[in-house]
Every structure is written in structure tokens, then in C-alpha cells.
Amino acid sequence: MNISCIVVDDEKLARELLMEFLEPFEEIEVIAECSRGTEAVEKINTLKPDLIFLDVQMPGMDGFGVLEEIDHVPYVIFTTAYDKYALQAFESNAVDYLLKPLDEERFNQAISRANQRIKSEKSATNIEELLKSVQGDDSREKYSSHLFVQKSEKLLNLDVRDIMHLEASGDYTVLSTKNDQFLSSSGIGKLEEKLNPDVFIRIHRSTIINLNYLKEIEKHFNGGLIVKMENGKSFPVSRTYAKQIRKKVV
């Protein structure tokens, strides 16, 4: 299975080192290099890579700004000289976070982690297609009350009221309940169409939360918002979707 990849870094030497480290991995095909955030957004949306290496600090639009703007959601390995962005990176559902100067052994670990996630999640495609044929046309009801989800080799009937939050993971979506997680090969946008927007609200391009499990909202030091769920999970609210939260404030 080939993995398409884009390298994003404003430093030429950093891009060259990433390319050198990637050479032994024949299954990874680098389809583009970008030195600016705006260029990266265009390339990612056009080429739809499976994986991107993304520098955090870049002139103009930084790495997190890139993730705010892209429509296609790839797997992300952040590269940066600063460890202070690690929490924000993993809140953005990053596969890994590599500190510069890059260490080849640590780099190889990140590739292994990305390989495992991509392969395991892509393996769900055939079962998801079967589910779609079983479910048929659900247009008779505007919003779904139940979804069929994969768990190991079983297909489970999941009550949507039990879903606490949904997180984009590449072209797939992770659905979390109080005690379990399920993987869907449907993109988060398609699943959003099935869910009642009075209960499930988009707070980030990669995150949807169930308001019934929202514990509290905190203001971040930079003026942004952080939502905290009953299961202890926290998610940043992007500027684009902040108005959805503010509508609920009385």
C-alpha cells in the first residue's frame, strides 16, 4: 500500500533532511514540497495526501493555521524546534510530534506509528461499504438515531445518543462513547449530515461534540476557547466554529 506524502517546511535544509530520512521507506511517495503555509493549503486540498510533515513556525501562516484552512484532512506529523506546541499538536489529532534537530531513530518511530494508523484505518473501507449497502437510503428520516459501526469483526448498532464526540483521523472518523471507541471510514463531514445539529455541534474542522456531554468551556490565554467533556477530554474551538458555541451562551 503506497502512502502519499507532502513535506511542509520553510527551511530548505529541513526539507532536504526529511527527504533523506524518507528514502528508505519505499511505500511512502513524496508528491510535493512546500515552503509556505498558503502554498501547503493549496497543495493539500488539490493532491489530497495521506500524510504530511508540517512545520509549526513558518512566516505568514503557521502549521496550525494550515490545519484550520485545509478541506482534506491528512495524517499529520509535526516538526518543530519548540516543545511548547506539543499539547496543541496532539489536540489537533497529530500522529506524532518531532523536535528539531531531527533524530533518525525517532523519525523512524514516527513513520512506524503513521504506517500502523493508516493501514489499520484503511482496512475498514470494505466493511464500511458493506454497512452502507445494508443501511440503504436513510433519507426518510432527516437525522439518524442509530449508526452501524465496526468493532473488530463485528458490526454494532450504536445509539447516537451515546456518542460523546467525533474526531477526524485522516479520511476516517473516530467515534467515542463513554466506554469505547469506534472507527468509521466515512469522513466527519458526511457523519455530521446524519446528526442533529441541536445536539451535535462542530467546534473544529476535525471535531464534533455532543452537547449533552459538554462539562465546561474555558477561555484560552490567547483568547480562544477550550471545551472540556465529561470524560476529561479537551478540544480547542477554532475561530471558524466559535460562533456555534457562543450561540449557546445565555
- Cα–Cα distance for residue pair 28/182, rounded to 1 Å: 27
Instruction: Summarize the chain as % helix, strand, coil (round to 5).
Output: 35, 30, 35
At residue 140, the pLDDT reads 42
Distances in Å between the alpha carbon of 28 and those of 16, 81, 115? 15, 24, 9
Domains in the chain (CATH in brackets) are 3-122 (3.40.50.2300), 138-246 (2.40.50.1020)
The letter for the amino acid at 22 is L
Average pLDDT for runs of 10 along the chain of length 250 = 91 95 94 94 93 91 88 88 70 80 93 84 55 49 79 81 92 89 87 91 92 89 83 88 74
At residue 138, the pLDDT reads 46
Strand, coil or helix: 1 = coil
At residue 132, the pLDDT reads 53
Could you tell me which residues come within 8 angstroms of residue 68 by beta carbon, excluding any fewer than 6 positions away? 205, 238, 239, 240
Angle made by CA atoms 3, 238, 176, in degrees to the nearest 5:
65
At residue 135, the pLDDT reads 52
Strands 154-159, 146-151: pairing kind? antiparallel
Residue 227, strand partner residues: 217, 235
Which residue blocks in the chain are alpha helix, DSSP H?
A: 12-22, 37-47, 63-69, 86-91, 104-122, 125-135, 188-194, 242-246
User: Is the separation of the CB atoms in 47 and 6 below 8 Å?
Assistant: yes
At residue 137, the pLDDT reads 47
Greatest alpha-carbon span in the chain:
56
Please state the pTM of the whole predicted model: 0.55
Distances in Å between the alpha carbon of 157 and those of 7, 123, 154, 161? 40, 20, 10, 12
Helix axes 12-22, 104-122, angle to 10 degrees: 70
Could you tell me which residues come within 8 angstroms of residue 32 by beta carbon, excluding any fewer than 6 positions away? 6, 7, 43, 47, 49
